[in-house]
A and B are shown apart, each in its own frame.
Chain A
Protein backbone atom coordinates (compact mmCIF):
# COMPACT_ATOMS: atom_id res chain seq x y z
CA UNK A 1 0.00 0.00 0.00
CA UNK A 2 1.40 3.37 -0.99
CA UNK A 3 2.06 5.96 1.67
CA UNK A 4 -0.11 9.07 1.50
CA UNK A 5 3.01 11.24 1.28
CA UNK A 6 4.20 9.41 -1.84
CA UNK A 7 0.78 9.75 -3.45
CA UNK A 8 0.56 13.51 -2.83
CA UNK A 9 4.18 14.05 -3.92
CA UNK A 10 3.26 12.82 -7.42
CA UNK A 11 1.12 15.94 -7.88
CA UNK A 12 3.56 18.42 -6.34
CA UNK A 13 4.06 21.35 -8.69
CA UNK A 14 0.90 20.64 -10.70
CA UNK A 15 -1.19 23.80 -10.74
CA UNK A 16 -4.51 23.12 -9.04
CA UNK A 17 -3.40 19.53 -8.49
CA UNK A 18 -4.81 19.08 -5.00
CA UNK A 19 -8.10 17.70 -6.34
CA UNK A 20 -6.21 15.19 -8.50
CA UNK A 21 -4.16 14.23 -5.43
CA UNK A 22 -7.34 13.72 -3.44
CA UNK A 23 -8.71 11.45 -6.17
CA UNK A 24 -5.50 9.41 -6.01
CA UNK A 25 -5.74 9.16 -2.21
CA UNK A 26 -9.31 8.01 -2.55
CA UNK A 27 -8.32 5.17 -4.88
CA UNK A 28 -5.89 3.91 -2.23
CA UNK A 29 -7.72 4.63 1.05
CA UNK A 30 -11.36 5.24 0.03
CA UNK A 31 -11.30 8.42 2.15
CA UNK A 32 -9.01 11.35 2.98
CA UNK A 33 -7.20 10.76 6.29
CA UNK A 34 -6.62 13.84 8.43
CA UNK A 35 -2.83 13.63 8.15
CA UNK A 36 -3.09 13.36 4.37
CA UNK A 37 -5.13 16.58 4.23
CA UNK A 38 -2.48 18.32 6.36
CA UNK A 39 0.24 17.00 4.06
CA UNK A 40 -1.66 18.16 0.96
CA UNK A 41 -2.00 21.61 2.53
CA UNK A 42 1.79 21.73 3.01
CA UNK A 43 2.58 20.54 -0.54
CA UNK A 44 0.08 22.83 -2.27
CA UNK A 45 0.90 25.77 0.01
CA UNK A 46 -2.56 26.18 1.49
CA UNK A 47 -3.73 26.48 5.06
CA UNK A 48 -5.00 23.23 6.58
CA UNK A 49 -8.43 24.88 6.76
CA UNK A 50 -8.38 25.52 3.01
CA UNK A 51 -7.29 21.97 2.22
CA UNK A 52 -10.03 20.66 4.53
CA UNK A 53 -12.53 23.02 2.91
CA UNK A 54 -11.76 21.53 -0.51
CA UNK A 55 -11.99 18.00 0.86
CA UNK A 56 -15.45 18.60 2.29
CA UNK A 57 -16.86 20.58 -0.64
CA UNK A 58 -17.03 17.71 -3.12
CA UNK A 59 -19.46 14.89 -2.48
CA UNK A 60 -17.14 12.13 -3.72
CA UNK A 61 -14.53 12.91 -1.09
CA UNK A 62 -14.99 11.72 2.46
CA UNK A 63 -13.00 12.95 5.45
CA UNK A 64 -14.24 10.07 7.55
CA UNK A 65 -13.11 6.47 7.22
CA UNK A 66 -15.54 4.46 5.08
CA UNK A 67 -15.79 1.06 3.47
CA UNK A 68 -13.39 0.21 0.65
CA UNK A 69 -16.06 -0.36 -1.99
CA UNK A 70 -18.28 2.67 -2.24
CA UNK A 71 -21.80 1.77 -3.39
CA UNK A 72 -23.79 4.79 -4.44
CA UNK A 73 -27.39 5.04 -5.51
CA UNK A 74 -28.80 7.91 -7.48
CA UNK A 75 -31.69 9.71 -5.85
CA UNK A 76 -32.38 12.22 -8.63
CA UNK A 77 -35.88 12.51 -10.09
CA UNK A 78 -35.54 9.99 -12.99
CA UNK A 79 -34.23 7.28 -10.64
CA UNK A 80 -36.69 8.34 -7.95
CA UNK A 81 -39.71 7.67 -10.17
CA UNK A 82 -38.15 4.45 -11.50
CA UNK A 83 -38.18 2.89 -8.05
CA UNK A 84 -34.86 3.82 -6.44
CA UNK A 85 -36.42 3.49 -2.98
CA UNK A 86 -36.89 -0.28 -3.46
CA UNK A 87 -33.24 -0.63 -4.50
CA UNK A 88 -32.16 1.35 -1.44
CA UNK A 89 -34.12 -1.06 0.77
CA UNK A 90 -32.50 -4.04 -0.98
CA UNK A 91 -29.00 -2.58 -0.51
CA UNK A 92 -29.62 -1.92 3.18
CA UNK A 93 -30.96 -5.45 3.61
CA UNK A 94 -28.08 -7.08 1.77
CA UNK A 95 -25.33 -5.18 3.57
CA UNK A 96 -27.05 -4.95 6.96
CA UNK A 97 -26.37 -1.21 7.21
CA UNK A 98 -28.27 2.01 6.59
CA UNK A 99 -27.56 4.59 3.91
CA UNK A 100 -24.53 6.67 4.89
CA UNK A 101 -22.97 3.81 6.89
CA UNK A 102 -20.13 1.36 6.27
CA UNK A 103 -20.03 -2.36 7.01
CA UNK A 104 -18.13 -3.44 10.15
CA UNK A 105 -15.60 -5.39 8.06
CA UNK A 106 -14.70 -2.19 6.19
CA UNK A 107 -15.62 -3.67 2.81
CA UNK A 108 -18.62 -1.56 1.82
CA UNK A 109 -19.91 1.98 2.18
CA UNK A 110 -23.44 2.92 1.20
CA UNK A 111 -24.15 6.44 -0.02
CA UNK A 112 -26.71 8.48 -1.86
CA UNK A 113 -25.56 10.40 -4.91
CA UNK A 114 -27.18 12.72 -7.38
CA UNK A 115 -27.37 11.92 -11.10
CA UNK A 116 -24.58 9.73 -12.50
CA UNK A 117 -25.50 10.40 -16.14
CA UNK A 118 -26.91 6.97 -17.07
CA UNK A 119 -30.54 8.05 -17.14
CA UNK A 120 -31.40 5.89 -20.15
CA UNK A 121 -31.62 2.93 -17.78
CA UNK A 122 -32.90 3.89 -14.34
CA UNK A 123 -32.58 3.15 -11.47
CA UNK A 124 -28.79 3.22 -11.46
CA UNK A 125 -26.23 2.33 -8.82
CA UNK A 126 -22.44 2.64 -9.03
CA UNK A 127 -19.80 0.62 -7.27
CA UNK A 128 -16.46 2.45 -7.18
CA UNK A 129 -17.68 4.53 -10.10
CA UNK A 130 -18.77 1.58 -12.25
CA UNK A 131 -22.42 1.98 -13.25
CA UNK A 132 -25.02 -0.80 -13.03
CA UNK A 133 -28.10 -0.04 -15.09
CA UNK A 134 -31.81 -0.85 -14.77
CA UNK A 135 -31.14 -2.27 -11.34
CA UNK A 136 -33.88 -4.25 -9.64
CA UNK A 137 -33.85 -5.23 -5.95
CA UNK A 138 -33.43 -8.87 -6.99
CA UNK A 139 -30.08 -8.13 -8.66
CA UNK A 140 -28.49 -6.55 -5.59
CA UNK A 141 -27.06 -9.72 -3.95
CA UNK A 142 -25.26 -10.70 -7.18
CA UNK A 143 -23.82 -7.21 -7.71
CA UNK A 144 -22.55 -7.00 -4.13
CA UNK A 145 -21.08 -10.51 -4.40
CA UNK A 146 -18.74 -9.27 -7.16
CA UNK A 147 -16.91 -7.19 -4.56
CA UNK A 148 -16.86 -9.56 -1.59
Chain B
Protein backbone atom coordinates (compact mmCIF):
# COMPACT_ATOMS: atom_id res chain seq x y z
CA UNK B 1 0.00 0.00 0.00
CA UNK B 2 1.57 3.28 -1.14
CA UNK B 3 1.78 6.12 1.30
CA UNK B 4 1.90 9.84 0.83
CA UNK B 5 5.26 11.51 1.42
CA UNK B 6 5.47 15.26 1.40
CA UNK B 7 8.74 16.89 0.38
CA UNK B 8 7.77 19.83 -1.80
CA UNK B 9 4.45 20.16 0.03
CA UNK B 10 6.06 19.69 3.44
CA UNK B 11 4.80 23.03 4.73
CA UNK B 12 1.39 22.87 3.08
CA UNK B 13 -1.22 24.00 5.58
CA UNK B 14 1.36 24.33 8.34
CA UNK B 15 2.51 27.88 7.72
CA UNK B 16 1.09 31.23 6.75
CA UNK B 17 2.61 31.73 3.30
CA UNK B 18 2.71 35.49 3.82
CA UNK B 19 4.74 35.23 7.04
CA UNK B 20 8.41 34.55 6.57
CA UNK B 21 8.80 33.87 10.29
CA UNK B 22 6.55 30.83 9.91
CA UNK B 23 8.86 29.50 7.20
CA UNK B 24 11.95 30.28 9.29
CA UNK B 25 10.41 28.44 12.24
CA UNK B 26 10.21 25.31 10.05
CA UNK B 27 13.94 25.58 9.35
CA UNK B 28 13.50 27.73 6.27
CA UNK B 29 16.55 29.35 4.63
CA UNK B 30 18.90 27.10 6.67
CA UNK B 31 19.61 25.16 3.48
CA UNK B 32 20.59 28.35 1.70
CA UNK B 33 22.97 29.13 4.55
CA UNK B 34 24.37 25.61 4.37
CA UNK B 35 24.73 25.82 0.58
CA UNK B 36 26.58 29.11 0.82
CA UNK B 37 29.06 27.54 3.23
CA UNK B 38 29.90 24.92 0.59
CA UNK B 39 32.03 25.51 -2.45
CA UNK B 40 29.90 25.64 -5.58
CA UNK B 41 31.44 22.55 -7.18
CA UNK B 42 30.58 20.46 -4.10
CA UNK B 43 27.09 21.93 -4.00
CA UNK B 44 26.41 21.07 -7.65
CA UNK B 45 27.92 17.60 -7.13
CA UNK B 46 25.48 17.06 -4.26
CA UNK B 47 22.47 18.04 -6.37
CA UNK B 48 23.74 15.84 -9.20
CA UNK B 49 24.21 12.90 -6.83
CA UNK B 50 20.66 13.23 -5.54
CA UNK B 51 19.63 12.40 -9.13
CA UNK B 52 16.85 14.96 -8.94
CA UNK B 53 15.40 15.16 -12.43
CA UNK B 54 13.39 18.11 -13.69
CA UNK B 55 9.75 18.08 -12.60
CA UNK B 56 8.54 20.17 -15.54
CA UNK B 57 8.26 17.22 -17.89
CA UNK B 58 11.61 16.68 -19.63
CA UNK B 59 13.22 14.84 -16.70
CA UNK B 60 16.79 16.08 -17.22
CA UNK B 61 19.27 15.70 -14.34
CA UNK B 62 19.04 18.97 -12.44
CA UNK B 63 22.61 19.06 -11.07
CA UNK B 64 23.97 18.27 -14.52
CA UNK B 65 22.05 21.20 -16.00
CA UNK B 66 23.39 23.49 -13.27
CA UNK B 67 26.96 22.33 -13.96
CA UNK B 68 26.68 23.51 -17.59
CA UNK B 69 25.67 27.01 -16.51
CA UNK B 70 28.26 27.06 -13.72
CA UNK B 71 31.00 26.20 -16.19
CA UNK B 72 29.95 28.84 -18.73
CA UNK B 73 31.99 32.04 -18.73
CA UNK B 74 29.88 35.19 -18.68
CA UNK B 75 29.55 38.57 -16.98
CA UNK B 76 25.91 37.84 -16.16
CA UNK B 77 23.89 34.67 -15.56
CA UNK B 78 20.22 34.14 -14.83
CA UNK B 79 17.97 31.80 -12.88
CA UNK B 80 14.44 31.44 -14.17
CA UNK B 81 11.58 29.66 -12.47
CA UNK B 82 9.15 28.21 -14.94
CA UNK B 83 5.78 28.87 -13.28
CA UNK B 84 3.84 28.78 -16.52
CA UNK B 85 2.02 25.52 -15.78
CA UNK B 86 -0.44 25.47 -18.64
CA UNK B 87 -1.09 21.74 -18.92
CA UNK B 88 -4.82 21.25 -18.51
CA UNK B 89 -5.41 19.35 -15.28
CA UNK B 90 -2.28 20.69 -13.61
CA UNK B 91 -2.21 22.98 -10.60
CA UNK B 92 0.62 21.61 -8.47
CA UNK B 93 2.90 24.62 -9.00
CA UNK B 94 0.07 26.90 -7.91
CA UNK B 95 -0.27 24.84 -4.72
CA UNK B 96 3.42 25.28 -3.95
CA UNK B 97 3.48 29.01 -4.70
CA UNK B 98 0.20 29.71 -2.93
CA UNK B 99 1.11 27.85 0.22
CA UNK B 100 4.88 28.01 0.51
CA UNK B 101 6.41 30.70 -1.72
CA UNK B 102 9.61 30.84 0.31
CA UNK B 103 10.61 27.30 -0.54
CA UNK B 104 10.66 28.34 -4.19
CA UNK B 105 12.70 31.47 -3.45
CA UNK B 106 15.14 29.47 -1.34
CA UNK B 107 15.56 26.88 -4.10
CA UNK B 108 16.18 29.60 -6.68
CA UNK B 109 18.69 31.37 -4.41
CA UNK B 110 20.63 28.12 -3.93
CA UNK B 111 20.75 27.68 -7.70
CA UNK B 112 21.87 31.30 -8.15
CA UNK B 113 24.74 30.77 -5.73
CA UNK B 114 25.70 27.48 -7.41
CA UNK B 115 25.95 28.92 -10.91
CA UNK B 116 26.97 32.50 -10.04
CA UNK B 117 23.77 34.35 -10.99
CA UNK B 118 22.60 37.60 -9.45
CA UNK B 119 19.27 38.00 -11.20
CA UNK B 120 16.27 35.70 -11.21
CA UNK B 121 12.83 35.71 -12.78
CA UNK B 122 9.66 33.89 -11.91
CA UNK B 123 7.69 33.53 -15.14
CA UNK B 124 4.18 33.22 -13.79
CA UNK B 125 1.35 32.22 -16.06
CA UNK B 126 -1.12 35.02 -16.79
CA UNK B 127 -3.96 32.92 -15.39
CA UNK B 128 -2.53 33.33 -11.85
CA UNK B 129 -2.68 37.15 -11.41
CA UNK B 130 -3.66 36.65 -7.75
CA UNK B 131 -0.26 35.07 -7.04
CA UNK B 132 1.80 38.09 -8.10
CA UNK B 133 1.38 39.82 -4.74
CA UNK B 134 2.00 36.60 -2.76
CA UNK B 135 5.30 36.08 -4.57
CA UNK B 136 6.33 39.74 -4.34
CA UNK B 137 5.53 39.81 -0.62
CA UNK B 138 7.71 36.74 -0.07
CA UNK B 139 10.55 38.15 -2.19
CA UNK B 140 10.47 41.45 -0.28
CA UNK B 141 10.41 39.69 3.09
CA UNK B 142 13.44 37.59 2.16
CA UNK B 143 15.23 40.76 0.99
CA UNK B 144 14.38 42.69 4.14
CA UNK B 145 15.75 39.91 6.32
CA UNK B 146 18.95 39.99 4.27
CA UNK B 147 18.51 36.34 3.29
CA UNK B 148 18.89 36.78 -0.47
CA UNK B 149 21.01 39.90 -0.53
CA UNK B 150 23.08 39.06 -3.63
CA UNK B 151 20.16 37.85 -5.68
CA UNK B 152 17.22 39.82 -7.09
CA UNK B 153 14.03 38.11 -8.25
CA UNK B 154 11.41 39.68 -10.46
CA UNK B 155 7.99 38.25 -11.23
CA UNK B 156 6.98 38.44 -14.90
CA UNK B 157 3.48 37.54 -16.05
CA UNK B 158 2.69 35.46 -19.07
CA UNK B 159 -0.36 36.36 -21.12
CA UNK B 160 -2.02 33.13 -22.10
CA UNK B 161 0.20 31.01 -24.32
CA UNK B 162 0.67 27.33 -23.52
CA UNK B 163 3.85 27.16 -25.61
CA UNK B 164 5.57 29.52 -23.15
CA UNK B 165 6.01 26.54 -20.84
CA UNK B 166 8.75 25.46 -23.25
CA UNK B 167 11.92 26.96 -21.84
CA UNK B 168 13.18 28.85 -24.89
CA UNK B 169 9.70 30.20 -25.70
CA UNK B 170 9.50 31.33 -22.08
CA UNK B 171 12.83 33.11 -22.44
CA UNK B 172 11.62 34.86 -25.60
CA UNK B 173 8.54 35.99 -23.69
CA UNK B 174 10.59 37.47 -20.82
CA UNK B 175 12.59 39.30 -23.49
CA UNK B 176 9.30 40.91 -24.55
CA UNK B 177 8.75 38.96 -27.73
CA UNK B 178 6.27 36.49 -29.15
CA UNK B 179 6.76 33.30 -27.16
CA UNK B 180 8.13 31.16 -29.97
CA UNK B 181 10.66 28.40 -29.21
CA UNK B 182 14.24 28.77 -30.36
CA UNK B 183 16.26 26.29 -32.33
CA UNK B 184 18.50 24.28 -29.98
CA UNK B 185 21.45 24.15 -29.50
CA UNK B 186 22.57 26.42 -28.02
CA UNK B 187 20.75 25.35 -24.89
CA UNK B 188 19.85 27.94 -22.24
CA UNK B 189 22.59 26.90 -19.74
CA UNK B 190 25.12 28.20 -22.27
CA UNK B 191 23.01 30.83 -24.10
CA UNK B 192 19.64 31.68 -22.63
CA UNK B 193 18.03 34.92 -21.52
CA UNK B 194 19.59 37.84 -23.44
CA UNK B 195 22.12 35.28 -24.71
CA UNK B 196 23.55 34.74 -21.21
CA UNK B 197 23.87 31.41 -19.38
CA UNK B 198 20.46 30.67 -17.87
CA UNK B 199 18.96 27.93 -15.76
CA UNK B 200 15.26 27.33 -16.26
CA UNK B 201 13.72 24.95 -13.73
CA UNK B 202 10.14 24.21 -12.83
CA UNK B 203 8.56 25.37 -9.53
CA UNK B 204 8.41 21.79 -8.21
CA UNK B 205 12.07 21.20 -9.10
CA UNK B 206 13.20 24.28 -7.14
CA UNK B 207 10.98 23.31 -4.21
CA UNK B 208 12.91 20.02 -3.90
CA UNK B 209 16.28 21.76 -3.57
CA UNK B 210 16.16 23.04 0.03
CA UNK B 211 15.22 19.58 1.32
CA UNK B 212 17.98 17.88 -0.69
CA UNK B 213 20.55 20.27 0.78
CA UNK B 214 19.15 19.80 4.27
CA UNK B 215 18.93 15.99 4.27
CA UNK B 216 21.58 15.11 1.73
CA UNK B 217 21.77 13.57 -1.73
CA UNK B 218 21.88 9.97 -0.46
CA UNK B 219 18.67 10.38 1.49
CA UNK B 220 16.89 11.81 -1.54
CA UNK B 221 18.30 9.28 -4.01
CA UNK B 222 16.96 6.44 -1.85
CA UNK B 223 13.31 7.55 -2.17
CA UNK B 224 11.07 6.03 -4.83
CA UNK B 225 12.39 4.76 -8.14
CA UNK B 226 16.23 4.90 -8.29
CA UNK B 227 16.26 6.17 -11.89
CA UNK B 228 13.87 9.01 -11.07
CA UNK B 229 14.06 9.36 -7.30
CA UNK B 230 12.08 11.49 -4.92
CA UNK B 231 8.41 12.27 -4.95
CA UNK B 232 5.93 13.65 -7.42
CA UNK B 233 2.90 15.80 -6.82
CA UNK B 234 -0.19 14.50 -8.58
CA UNK B 235 -3.40 16.37 -9.29
CA UNK B 236 -6.55 14.35 -10.04
CA UNK B 237 -9.40 15.49 -12.25
CA UNK B 238 -12.21 14.01 -14.32
CA UNK B 239 -14.31 11.00 -13.31
CA UNK B 240 -12.66 10.32 -10.00
CA UNK B 241 -14.06 10.23 -6.48
CA UNK B 242 -11.31 12.35 -4.94
CA UNK B 243 -10.59 15.30 -7.16
CA UNK B 244 -7.58 16.19 -5.12
CA UNK B 245 -3.79 16.35 -4.95
CA UNK B 246 -1.12 14.37 -3.12
CA UNK B 247 2.60 13.77 -3.17
CA UNK B 248 3.97 10.22 -3.42
CA UNK B 249 7.30 8.47 -4.02
CA UNK B 250 7.95 7.81 -7.71
CA UNK B 251 7.65 4.02 -7.42
CA UNK B 252 3.92 4.34 -6.78
CA UNK B 253 1.87 2.70 -9.53
CA UNK B 254 -0.78 4.32 -11.72
CA UNK B 255 -3.34 1.92 -10.22
CA UNK B 256 -2.53 3.17 -6.72
CA UNK B 257 -2.85 6.77 -7.90
CA UNK B 258 -6.27 6.20 -9.45
CA UNK B 259 -7.84 3.68 -7.09
CA UNK B 260 -6.10 4.11 -3.73
CA UNK B 261 -5.53 7.86 -3.62
CA UNK B 262 -8.21 8.82 -6.13
CA UNK B 263 -10.80 6.47 -4.70
CA UNK B 264 -11.65 5.13 -8.15
CA UNK B 265 -14.49 6.07 -10.45
CA UNK B 266 -17.74 7.45 -8.98
CA UNK B 267 -21.07 5.65 -9.14
CA UNK B 268 -21.40 2.17 -10.56
CA UNK B 269 -19.41 3.03 -13.62
CA UNK B 270 -16.26 1.30 -14.76
CA UNK B 271 -12.84 2.86 -15.30
CA UNK B 272 -12.09 3.45 -18.96
CA UNK B 273 -8.78 5.31 -19.28
CA UNK B 274 -6.41 7.66 -17.50
CA UNK B 275 -4.33 10.39 -19.07
CA UNK B 276 -1.22 11.31 -17.10
CA UNK B 277 1.01 14.32 -17.63
CA UNK B 278 -1.63 16.76 -18.72
CA UNK B 279 -3.38 17.10 -22.02
CA UNK B 280 -0.24 16.13 -23.99
CA UNK B 281 -0.08 12.81 -22.15
CA UNK B 282 -0.96 9.36 -23.38
CA UNK B 283 -4.29 7.71 -22.58
CA UNK B 284 -3.55 4.58 -20.56
CA UNK B 285 -5.94 1.59 -20.45
CA UNK B 286 -6.67 -0.71 -17.51
CA UNK B 287 -4.14 -3.32 -18.66
CA UNK B 288 -1.19 -0.97 -18.05
CA UNK B 289 -2.22 0.41 -14.66
CA UNK B 290 0.42 -1.49 -12.70
CA UNK B 291 3.19 0.64 -14.22
CA UNK B 292 5.16 2.76 -11.74
CA UNK B 293 4.79 6.48 -12.40
CA UNK B 294 8.56 7.12 -12.64
CA UNK B 295 9.77 8.82 -15.81
CA UNK B 296 11.40 5.82 -17.54
CA UNK B 297 8.72 3.29 -16.57
CA UNK B 298 6.16 5.59 -18.17
CA UNK B 299 8.30 6.01 -21.31
CA UNK B 300 8.48 2.23 -21.58
CA UNK B 301 4.69 2.01 -22.06
CA UNK B 302 4.64 4.93 -24.49
CA UNK B 303 3.39 7.36 -21.85
CA UNK B 304 4.86 10.31 -19.97
CA UNK B 305 4.85 11.45 -16.38
CA UNK B 306 4.91 15.10 -17.45
CA UNK B 307 3.42 17.46 -14.93
CA UNK B 308 1.69 14.70 -12.96
CA UNK B 309 -1.79 15.84 -13.93
CA UNK B 310 -4.06 12.80 -13.88
CA UNK B 311 -7.31 12.87 -15.82
CA UNK B 312 -9.61 9.89 -15.46
CA UNK B 313 -12.54 9.03 -17.68
CA UNK B 314 -15.17 6.41 -17.05
CA UNK B 315 -16.86 4.00 -19.46
CA UNK B 316 -19.67 6.44 -20.23
CA UNK B 317 -17.30 8.95 -21.83
CA UNK B 318 -16.83 9.27 -25.53
CA UNK B 319 -13.05 9.03 -25.74
CA UNK B 320 -12.99 10.07 -29.40
CA UNK B 321 -14.86 13.24 -28.47
CA UNK B 322 -12.38 13.96 -25.66
CA UNK B 323 -9.41 13.38 -28.00
CA UNK B 324 -11.06 15.69 -30.55
CA UNK B 325 -11.31 18.44 -27.94
CA UNK B 326 -7.63 17.90 -27.13
CA UNK B 327 -6.70 18.09 -30.81
CA UNK B 328 -8.51 21.43 -30.90
CA UNK B 329 -6.43 22.57 -27.94
CA UNK B 330 -3.17 21.92 -29.78
CA UNK B 331 -4.38 23.56 -32.96
CA UNK B 332 -5.14 26.65 -30.89
CA UNK B 333 -1.89 26.61 -28.93
CA UNK B 334 0.59 25.83 -31.71
CA UNK B 335 2.73 28.95 -32.11
CA UNK B 336 3.06 28.39 -35.84
CA UNK B 337 6.81 28.78 -36.06
CA UNK B 338 7.48 25.33 -37.54
CA UNK B 339 5.45 23.80 -40.35
CA UNK B 340 5.09 20.25 -38.93
CA UNK B 341 3.32 21.62 -35.86
CA UNK B 342 1.42 24.48 -37.48
CA UNK B 343 0.03 22.27 -40.25
CA UNK B 344 0.08 19.03 -38.29
CA UNK B 345 -2.05 20.22 -35.38
CA UNK B 346 -4.57 21.79 -37.81
CA UNK B 347 -4.86 18.66 -39.94
CA UNK B 348 -5.08 16.45 -36.83
CA UNK B 349 -7.93 18.55 -35.46
CA UNK B 350 -9.66 18.45 -38.86
CA UNK B 351 -9.39 14.65 -39.16
CA UNK B 352 -10.50 14.14 -35.56
CA UNK B 353 -13.56 16.34 -36.09
CA UNK B 354 -14.39 14.41 -39.23
CA UNK B 355 -14.26 11.08 -37.40
CA UNK B 356 -16.05 12.44 -34.33
CA UNK B 357 -18.91 13.69 -36.49
CA UNK B 358 -19.32 10.26 -38.07
CA UNK B 359 -17.81 11.13 -41.43
CA UNK B 360 -14.52 9.24 -41.03
CA UNK B 361 -13.08 5.90 -42.03
CA UNK B 362 -10.07 3.66 -41.49
CA UNK B 363 -8.25 5.77 -44.06
CA UNK B 364 -8.48 8.82 -41.79
CA UNK B 365 -7.14 6.86 -38.83
CA UNK B 366 -4.20 5.69 -40.95
CA UNK B 367 -3.52 9.31 -41.92
CA UNK B 368 -3.65 10.38 -38.28
CA UNK B 369 -1.13 7.71 -37.35
CA UNK B 370 1.27 8.68 -40.11
CA UNK B 371 0.93 12.39 -39.42
CA UNK B 372 1.34 11.91 -35.65
CA UNK B 373 4.46 9.81 -36.08
CA UNK B 374 6.07 12.42 -38.33
CA UNK B 375 5.15 15.21 -35.92
CA UNK B 376 6.60 13.37 -32.93
CA UNK B 377 10.09 13.60 -34.37
CA UNK B 378 10.00 16.55 -36.75
CA UNK B 379 8.40 19.32 -34.71
CA UNK B 380 10.69 22.03 -33.34
CA UNK B 381 9.66 21.81 -29.69
CA UNK B 382 7.93 19.61 -27.17
CA UNK B 383 4.50 21.03 -27.91
CA UNK B 384 4.36 19.63 -31.42
CA UNK B 385 6.27 16.48 -30.53
CA UNK B 386 3.82 15.60 -27.73
CA UNK B 387 0.64 16.85 -29.42
CA UNK B 388 -0.12 13.59 -31.28
CA UNK B 389 0.20 11.39 -28.14
CA UNK B 390 -3.44 11.59 -26.98
CA UNK B 391 -4.69 10.79 -30.49
CA UNK B 392 -2.16 8.02 -31.18
CA UNK B 393 -2.70 6.30 -27.83
CA UNK B 394 -6.48 6.43 -28.05
CA UNK B 395 -6.22 4.88 -31.52
CA UNK B 396 -3.88 2.22 -30.13
CA UNK B 397 -5.86 1.28 -27.04
CA UNK B 398 -9.42 2.23 -28.00
CA UNK B 399 -9.62 1.51 -31.70
CA UNK B 400 -13.14 0.11 -31.36
CA UNK B 401 -14.39 3.50 -30.20
CA UNK B 402 -13.10 5.03 -33.43
CA UNK B 403 -14.56 2.25 -35.56
CA UNK B 404 -17.95 2.74 -33.92
CA UNK B 405 -18.00 6.24 -35.42
CA UNK B 406 -17.06 5.30 -38.96
CA UNK B 407 -19.49 5.95 -41.82
How many angstroms between the C-alpha atoms of A61 and B160 in the bound complex?
8
On whether the beta carbons of B91 and A119 are closer than 8 Å, the reply is yes
Which of A15, A19, A20, A23 has the most CB atoms of chain B within a 10 A radius of its CB?
A: A19
How many angstroms between the C-alpha atoms of A57 and B177 in the bound complex?
9
* Chain A, Cβ-Cβ closest to B87: A115
Partner of B325, one of A16, A80, A82, A117: A80
The answer to whether the Cβ of A132 comes within 8 Å of any Cβ in the partner chain is: no
On whether the beta carbons of A80 and B127 are closer than 8 Å, the reply is no
On whether the beta carbons of A78 and B159 are closer than 8 Å, the reply is no
Tell me the A68-88 residues at the B interface (CB within 8 Å). 74-78, 80-82
Q: Is the interface of B mostly helix, strand, loop or mixed?
A: loop
* Chain B, Cβ-Cβ closest to A115: B88
Q: Is the interface of A mostly helix, strand, loop or mixed?
A: loop
* Chain A, Cβ-Cβ closest to B85: A117
- Chain A positions within 8 Å of B322 at CB level: 77, 80-81
- Chain B positions within 8 Å of A23 at CB level: 126, 157, 159
Partner of A114, one of B159, B162, B178, B237: B162
- Chain A positions within 8 Å of B275 at CB level: 77
On whether the beta carbons of B317 and A81 are closer than 8 Å, the reply is yes
- Chain B positions within 8 Å of A44 at CB level: 176
The answer to whether the Cβ of B82 comes within 8 Å of any Cβ in the partner chain is: no
Partner of A19, one of B90, B129, B157, B326: B157
The answer to whether the Cβ of A22 comes within 8 Å of any Cβ in the partner chain is: yes
* Chain A, Cβ-Cβ closest to B243: A120
On whether the beta carbons of B238 and A78 are closer than 8 Å, the reply is yes
* Stretch from A98-106, A122-130, A139-147 that touches the partner: A122-130
On whether the beta carbons of B239 and A81 are closer than 8 Å, the reply is yes
On whether the beta carbons of A59 and B85 are closer than 8 Å, the reply is no
The answer to whether the Cβ of B125 comes within 8 Å of any Cβ in the partner chain is: yes
On whether the beta carbons of B279 and A19 are closer than 8 Å, the reply is no
How many angstroms between the C-alpha atoms of A17 and B128 in the bound complex?
19
On whether the beta carbons of B91 and A22 are closer than 8 Å, the reply is no
- Chain A positions within 8 Å of B128 at CB level: 117
The answer to whether the Cβ of B151 comes within 8 Å of any Cβ in the partner chain is: no
Shortest CB-to-CB span from B319 to chain A, Å, is 10
How many angstroms between the C-alpha atoms of A18 and B157 in the bound complex?
11
On whether the beta carbons of B178 and A60 are closer than 8 Å, the reply is no
How many angstroms between the C-alpha atoms of A8 and B245 in the bound complex?
41
With A115-B87, A119-B237, A129-B129 already in contact, the answer to whether A77 and B326 are too (CB < 8 A) is: yes
Shortest CB-to-CB span from A58 to chain B, Å, is 3
The answer to whether the Cβ of A118 comes within 8 Å of any Cβ in the partner chain is: yes
| 24 A-B interface contacts by CB (under 8 A) | A15-B175, A15-B194, A16-B174, A19-B157, A19-B173, A20-B157, A22-B159, A23-B157, A44-B176, A54-B176, A57-B161, A59-B159, A60-B159, A76-B88, A77-B325, A78-B311, A81-B322, A82-B238, A114-B332, A115-B90, A119-B90, A120-B91, A120-B237, A126-B127
What residues of chain A have their CB less than 8 Å away from a CB belonging to chain B?
Answer: 15-20, 22-23, 44, 53-54, 57-61, 74-78, 80-82, 113-122, 126, 129-130
What residues of chain B have their CB less than 8 Å away from a CB belonging to chain A?
Answer: 85-91, 94, 125-130, 156-162, 173-180, 194, 235, 237-239, 243-245, 275, 279, 309, 311, 313, 317, 322, 325-326, 329, 332-333, 335
Closest 6 CB pairs of A and B: A16-B176, A76-B88, A58-B159, A59-B160, A115-B88, A60-B160
New A-B contacts (11) at CB < 8 Å, excluding given A114-B160, A115-B86: A16-B175, A16-B177, A19-B156, A54-B178, A60-B126, A61-B160, A113-B127, A114-B162, A117-B91, A119-B91, A122-B237
